[in-house]
């Protein structure tokens, strides 16, 4: 099952349905013990449809300003390749009922905007948080951290909460507190390097062709 950060500490109906989806999917292990039901959970994928990168590119093309909802807002920056790798890793290595979480870099949205603006004479405008929007993304809650360990493959794994699905004693705890995007944040230089690595810096000549190719 593929889930999102909205399932962690949900604040709206969409998040609640995501959380219920995870629970229903992993509980299927009880009904069908010969099949291994596992989940992945991650935040927005870089340059995916509806995400901030295409929006910022469009705003730059139109001369700005770039709009952010809060100067303190942070988000995980997960590439499409890393998202696919997370799914493959869960299919290959996750134990019954586990949810795999990618360990991804995070950045302040102001730095993402500054990185894309570069030396252009374009401003940044704060427009205020929208209803249900979070200042930061949480991928693992504090409660879930008690059931979380770090795998040998570079992912966090949340072990199932249902006793019927758990296989013996839970593995040791490798995470203290929740895992969220406000804990270890890239500086401006690190943000630029990550965007360059994923070919997401604004380039008038080819940026739209590349993004459209990525999101299909």
Catalytic member of 6, 9, 114, 167? 6
Going from the C-alpha of 12 to that of each of 133, 142, 195, the distances in angstroms are: 9, 19, 30
Please calculate the CA angle 188-192-193 and round it to the nearest 5 degrees.
Answer: 115
- Helices 207-215 and 52-61 cross at an angle (nearest 10°) of 160
Question: CA-to-CA distance for 200 and 208, rounded, in angstroms?
Answer: 10
* Beta carbons of 67 and 129 less than 8 angstroms apart: no
Give the residue among 145, 73, 129 at the shortest CA–CA distance from 106: 73
Check if 6 is active-site. Answer: yes
Residues acting as catalytic residues = 6
């Amino acid at each position: 099952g593929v889930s999102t950060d909205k399932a962690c500490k949900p604040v709206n109906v969409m998040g609640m349905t995501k959380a219920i989806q995870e629970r229903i999917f992993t509980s299927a292990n009880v009904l069908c013990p010969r099949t291994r039901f596992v989940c992945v959970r991650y935040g927005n994928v870089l340059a995916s449809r509806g995400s901030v990168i295409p929006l910022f590119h469009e705003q730059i093309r139109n001369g700005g300003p770039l709009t952010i909802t809060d100067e303190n807002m942070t988000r995980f920056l997960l590439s499409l390749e890393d998202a696919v790798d997370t799914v493959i890793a869960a299919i290959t290595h996750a134990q019954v009922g586990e949810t795999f979480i990618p360990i991804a870099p995070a950045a302040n949205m102001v730095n993402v905007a500054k990185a894309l603006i570069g030396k252009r004479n374009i401003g940044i405008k704060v427009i205020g948080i929208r209803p249900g929007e979070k200042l930061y993304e949480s991928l693992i809650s504090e409660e879930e951290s008690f059931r979380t360990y770090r795998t040998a493959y570079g992912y966090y794994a949340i072990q199932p909460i249902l006793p019927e699905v758990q296989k013996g004693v839970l593995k040791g705890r490798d995470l203290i507190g929740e895992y969220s995007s406000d804990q270890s944040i890239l500086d401006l230089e690190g943000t630029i390097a990550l965007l360059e690595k994923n070919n997401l810096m604004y380039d008038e000549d080819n940026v739209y062709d590349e993004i459209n190719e990525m999101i299909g």
